[in-house]
Amino acid sequence: MSSLREEAARYLETRRALGFKMEGEGRLLEQFTAFAGSAGADTVTTELALGWATLPATGSASWHARRLAVVRGFAFWLCAADPRAQVPPAGLLPGRARRTVPYLYSGAGITALITAAGRLSPPWKAVTMRAFTGLLFATGCRLGEALSLDRGDLDQDTGLLTIRETKARRPRQLPLHPTAAAALASYAHRRDREWARPATTAFFVSSTGARLARTTVQETFRRLLRETGIYDRAGALRPRIHGARHTFAVTTLAGWYRDGADVQERLPLLSTWLGHSDPRHTYYYLSAAPELLTLAAGRLERPEEGTS
């Protein structure tokens, strides 16, 4: 029998071959197999899974439930090769997942973040983070999608940006606003002068010439939040880099409502832009801001012309 770590690797390889990214699940399973190894276990048991899933003790019920769900999926697969494997019962750790209320950035907040990014040191980090942060707010693309951009993904003549590494594994093209396209083209020209012999195909490169790392970007963004005072003013809400995506979606929807557009008709366009596999996922943004609910309610209360 192969080690539990090797079986987990095969499981992840199989799921990924079927089209699942398994990024978060992969990290959690790696942690679980390390936990099992330290306990001298070579298979999955309900007791072992429960002991790992409920760490740390201060974690939320939904986080514990998610950890157990990851092990439970692996245990189902493992049973085919190892009859000793136990599948933890469903509902053993009831934890209803709740969406985090997103922090929506104001126009002034976005400007402050981009300005602060331009003051970073060393200078190339400032250039890169300024362009990167601007892209997130201008397009609403996911962090991973922006990090995965390559040099050929921006067509500077047409202003089209191709997102290839998508959550749904279906590439999409975004026609950028002229100002966003110009900003990215300017960054690309400076990058090509700075790195005449690139060591990576990445569009955004770090001060070492390598592709930007997720952890580096997240840590830097948290620093910007504190330097601009946004973090302290947010109160109970938690400003995150993913909030740029929420802000883009909510701003777009609010603009449509104010312009009197048919939001239901346009919603699939926003779904396609954001890379949602189903417009139903986009409906979440309708409840992300009280302003949107007010605008929607006002639309419903206002009778259409020509109707009785």
pLDDT digits (tens, 9 = 90+) for 195-206: 989 999 999 999
| Residue 22 Rama label (left phi>0; alpha psi -120 to 50; beta) | left
Q: In this predicted structure, what is the pLDDT of residue 303? A: 41
Whole-angstrom distance, CA of residue 94 vs CA of residue 305: 49
Give the pTM.
0.68
Residue 141: pLDDT above 50? Answer: yes
Confidence grade of residue 250 (pLDDT, cut at 50, 70, 90)? confident
Short-list 166, 172, 173, CA closest to 19? 166
Q: In this predicted structure, what is the pLDDT of residue 307? A: 33
Confidence grade of residue 213 (pLDDT, cut at 50, 70, 90)? very high
Q: In this predicted structure, what is the pLDDT of residue 64? A: 92
Tokens of 48: 């072992």
Confidence grade of residue 306 (pLDDT, cut at 50, 70, 90)? very low
Q: In this predicted structure, what is the pLDDT of residue 300? A: 45
> What's the mean per-residue pLDDT of the chain?
87
pLDDT per residue over 129-139, tens digit each?
999 999 999 99
pLDDT per residue over 65-87, tens digit each?
999 999 999 998 898 889 999 99
Whole-angstrom distance, CA of residue 12 vs CA of residue 32: 13
Residues 6 or more apart whose CB falls under 8 angstroms from that of 59 comprise: none
Q: How many residues does the chain have?
A: 308
Catalytic sites, residue numbers: 142, 167, 242, 245, 276, 285
Q: In this predicted structure, what is the pLDDT of residue 291? A: 63
